[in-house]
Chains A and B, each alone.
Chain A
Amino acid sequence: MAVSQHAGTPAPSTQRVPLVELRNIRVSFGGVRAVEGVSMDLYPGEVVGVVGGNGAGKTTLMRTLSGARPPDGGQIFVNGQPVSIANPRDAKALGIETIYQTLALADNLDAPANCFLGRELMGGGSLNDSAMESETRKVIGRLNPNFKNFKTPVLRLSGGQRQAVAIARAIQFNAKVLIMDEPTAALGPAETSQVHNLVRQLKSEGIGIFLVSHDIHDVFDLSERISVMYHGRLVGTVNKNDVTTDEVLGMIILGKPPTKLTSQELAELHG
C-alpha cells in the first residue's frame, strides 16, 4: 500500500483498538479477483468513507464484513479479536449491521415485520406483533416523523420510506458497526439531509460507520477518513482534512495516491 493507514495528522484514535479491522481481505468470483488484499479499519464514533468506481470492489468488501459473502482469504478483527463471519447471523451477533444498497426488504411484509426479520420478538409462544410495531414506531419516528404506514406491505411505500425501514432495521438492535451502502442514492434532498443528521447522531453515540458511496460530496460531508478502492485494490486511506475532492477524484479515477498524481493528470481530470 502506497499510503499509510493514517496519512497526515493522526487519526482520532492512534492508541485505541479499532472497532473493526479488515486485514488483507481477498474475494474471488470464479477466476475474477473482486477484492485483492485490502485492509481497512474503523474506530468507534468514526465514519470511514469507502469510495471507488463501479466494480472497484467496495460492496464486495463490505459484504465480507456483513456475512453475506465470506472472504476467500484474510482476517477480520472486531475489538482486536480475530473473528470468523460465515453468515449474516454471525455479523449481527457481533453488532455489525448493514443497510444494503438494494435495501433487502421483503416487499410483501410490513415495516415491523421487516425491521425484526430474523429477530422476531416472541410472547407466549407466538409472534408479538404489537411489541414489534411499538419498537418500530419509536425507531422510525426518529428518522421520519411523517411515517404512518406501519401495517402496509413495504412494497407500497415511497423510496424514502423504504429507506427508513431499512435504516431502522439496522439501528434497532444497538449496532456497534454500521455498513451503509449507498444510503442516499434513491433519496430526495430533504430525505438525504435526514440521513446525514442520522449519521452524525449515530457517530456521536460511538457507532463506527463504513459509508459506501458514489457521491464524493456525501463522503466529504460525513467522514473522517476516506478509503479509495480501484479495481479490487486499496489505493489508499486518507484523512479528509489533508486532501481536496480533486485529489480523491484522482484516486478514484486513476487509481493513484495523491502523492503520485502529476499536476498534468489533475488538470486532465478537469477536462
Chain B
Amino acid sequence: MSVSAPGNATTEGTQPAAPRSFGDSVSAAFSPITDRLRVLEVDTRMLGMLGALVIIWVGFNILSGGTFLSPRNLWNLSVQSASIAIMATGMVLIIVSRNIDLSVGSMLGFLGYTMAMIQAVWIPNDLGFGHEQPWIWIITLILGIALGFFVGGLQGFVVAYAGVPSFIVTLGGLLVWRGLIFRYAQGQTIAPMESTFQMLGGGTVGTRVGALGEWPSWILGIVLSVAIVYLQISSRRRRRKYGFPVRPLWAEGLVGAVSCGIVLGVVLVANNYPLPVNVAIAYAEEHGITVPPGGLFIPTGVAFPVLIMLIVTLVVTFLATRRRFGRYVYAIGGNPDAASLAGINVRRTIMLTFALMGSLAAISAAVQTARLNAAVTNLGVQNELDVISAAVIGGTSFSGGIGTVPGAILGAVVMQSLRSGMVLLLVDSPTQDIVVGIVLVVAVGLDTLVRRRSR
C-alpha cells in the first residue's frame, strides 16, 4: 500500500495535500515510516494487521496471567483457526471478483454430513465393506471435495450464466443445503467417523495423534524455510536478468529472516505442546519406553488441520497470484468491462471461484467432522459470517479487486484470537459476539479511511 508522500512515486510528483480528515492525518503521520517500508516492499496493511495481532496476543497474555501465549493455548488456537482460514482463502477470491458467498456454512454442513454418511453408513453398511477400511478416509475426502466443487460450481453457474446476484443465489443456497441435511438422517447425528479420517481433525484416537510429531514438524519447518530463501534468490536472479531494480540486500535478508522466523516459531510452539498424559503413557507402553519420574514429554508437533491449512494456503495463493485464473479474478474485480474487453471469459472465471469455494468448504467440513468425530445438524452454522469477517479483516475490499490470501489467514487468526482470549477470560458468549462485531466494523472503517487517503 502506498500512502503518497512528498518526493516519491509518480513522475508527475504528487502534491502533498493538506490533511483533510482523520484518515489523512493518520496516514500523513506515518508517511516517513511507510517510505522506509517501501524499500522492504512489504505490504503495510499486512504489517498493520500483524501489529494488531501482536497487541491482541500480548494484551490477552497479560490479562490471562500468561496462559494465552502458552504452547497449549497457541496450539489449540491454530487448530481452531484452521477450518475458518481454509474457507477464507476462497472467500477472498469470491469477494475480490465482486461477489459474495453466504452459503459456505450450510455447504459445509451439507458436505460434512455427506462425508459422514459415506464413511459411516454407505460404504460400511450399504456397500457391505464394514467400518475401518484403510482407504475409506481418502475416498470420503475425494468424494467430498468433488461434491463441493460441483455444489459450489452449481451456485457459480447460476450467478455467472443466469445473472442472478450472488447474494441471492447463495442466500438460497444457505437454506437449501441446510435443509438437505435433514433428508439424510431426519436430524440425527451421524457417528463415529473412521479412525484415520478422525486424524484430519487433529485429535487423538488411542495412541494415534492427528499431528505431525516432533521431527516431521522440524523437517516441515526447514523445508519451508529453504523454499522461502530459494524463492527470494530466484526472484532476485530473474529481476537481475531483466535489469530491473532489486531491493537492497539488507532488506532482502530482513524479509527472509522474519519469514523463516515465523515458520520455525510455529514449529517450535507446536513441539512444545506435549501429548496429553494418558495418551503419552499409552504411547510409551506401546513403544516400550519407560516413563521417567518427572512425567513423559512427547511433543505433539504441527496439527494436521494446520498442515491442511498450510497446503490450502499455498495452493490458493499460487492460483491467485501465479496463474491466469487468479489474474483474471483480480481484473474482473478491478473493472469487469475491461476484463471482458480484454477477451477474458468472465463467466467461466466467476463460476470457477464458486466451485473452488465449494471444494474448500468440503475440506473444512472434513476437518470439523473429524474433530467432532460426528456430523451434527448445526455443523457450520454461522461459519459464513466468520469466513467473511476473516477475509474482510484481512484487507479484502467489498468494492472488488483488492484482497490477499495471506491477509485472510491472518484475519482468521485475529478473529479466533479474540474469541479464544475472551474464553480464557471467561467472557460470556453474547459479549464475545458484541466485541467481535465492533472489532469487525472498526477494523474495516480504519482500513477504508487509510485507503481513501492513499488514492
Contact = CB atoms under 8 A, between A and B. Distances in A.
A126 B322 contact: yes
Contacts of A131: 242
Interface in B7-48: 9-12
A49 interface: no
A100 interface: yes
Question: 8 shortest A-B CB distances, which residue pairs?
Answer: A106-B334, A108-B401, A108-B334, A126-B322, A118-B342, A89-B343, A104-B338, A117-B342
Contact of A104 (B9, B322, B335): B335
A152 B2 contact: yes
B409 interface: no
Contacts of A105: 335, 338
Contact of A134 (B242, B322, B334): B242
Interface centre among A98, A113, A118, A120 (most CB of B within 10 A): A118
Contacts of A157: 10
A158 interface: yes
A157 to B, nearest CB: 7
A148 interface: yes
Nearest to A88: B343
5 contacts: A98-B341, A104-B335, A130-B241, A146-B11, A147-B11
A68 B323 contact: no
Given A108-B401, A109-B334, A134-B242, A127 B340 contact: no
B263 interface: no
A144 B329 CA distance: 29
B225 to A, nearest CB: 21
Interface in B337-372: 337-344
A87 interface: yes
B230 interface: no
Interface of A: 66, 68, 87-89, 92, 98, 100, 102-109, 113, 117-120, 122, 126-127, 130-131, 133-134, 146-149, 152, 155-158, 161
B452 interface: no
A215 B331 CA distance: 32
Contact of A130 (B242, B331, B344): B242
A118 B11 contact: no
A152 B331 contact: no
Given A148-B11, A156-B4, 16 more contacts: A88-B340, A88-B341, A100-B341, A104-B342, A106-B331, A106-B334, A107-B335, A108-B401, A109-B334, A113-B327, A117-B342, A119-B343, A126-B323, A149-B9, A149-B10, A155-B455
A108 B342 CA distance: 15
B238 interface: yes
B318 interface: yes
Contacts of A156: 2, 4, 9-10, 455
Nearest to A102: B337
Contacts of B341: 66, 68, 88, 98, 100, 104
Contact of B9 (A98, A134, A152): A152
Interface string B412-455: 00000000000000000000000000000000000000000001
A158 B335 contact: no
B121 to A, nearest CB: 40
Contacts of B455: 155-156
B288 to A, nearest CB: 48
Contacts of B343: 87-89, 92, 118-119
A133 B335 contact: no
Contact of B238 (A88, A113, A130): A130
A164 B335 CA distance: 18
Interface centre among A89, A102, A104, A161 (most CB of B within 10 A): A104
B333 interface: yes
B327 A120 contact: yes
Nearest to A123: B238
B239 A130 contact: yes
Interface in B172-197: none
B312 interface: no
Contacts of A146: 11
Given A113-B327, A127-B327, A107 B401 contact: yes
B330 interface: yes
B239 A117 contact: no
B242 A107 contact: no
Contacts of B338: 103-106, 117
A75 B331 CA distance: 32
B337 A107 contact: no
A78 B349 CA distance: 31
A156 B451 CA distance: 12
B115 to A, nearest CB: 31
Contact of B330 (A98, A103, A108, A126): A108
